[in-house]
Amino acid sequence: MPEEYPLFTPTNDDRVLGLLSHLLAIVPGIGILGPLVIYLIKKGQSSFVEENAKESLNFQITMVLAFIISWILVVVLIGFLLLGILSVLNIVLVIVATVKASENKIYRYPFNLRLIK
């Protein structure tokens, strides 16, 4: 599956919501709730926003699970390294996805549990 694929040209409002579905995920205190709320509100209304929010939501669920595993591995000290790597990876990939959304494309995260279909 390609990393990204172009869709129809979304409206400005759709593009902003697509961007926010990624950016809100890395805001402390909002995290997974940002893409979830956008997904639930726009589901069935805008395929561009729905796909961006769904992809962001699935990635943030994947990251939460990875962070939980890393915290467990802190006991054997490798968890500290994993926590740092996951934090940087999360920020970098969310920024890449945000840029792609601004180009009217949907970014497929390189590793992602696609739980929400």
For 35, the domain range is 4-63+95-106
**The pLDDT value given to residue 68:** 93
d(CA 35, CA 21): 5
**The pLDDT value given to residue 102:** 87
**The pLDDT value given to residue 2:** 44
**The pLDDT value given to residue 4:** 52
Q: Supply 63's token pair.
A: 């990251």
Taking the chain (117 residues) in runs of 10, the rounded mean pLDDT of each run is: 55 88 87 90 87 93 93 87 92 93 88 82
Q: Is 115 a member of any domain?
A: no
Total tally of structural domains belonging to the chain: 1
CA-based nearest residue to 20, from 48, 62, 61: 48
**The pLDDT value given to residue 5:** 52
Q: Is 112 a member of any domain?
A: no
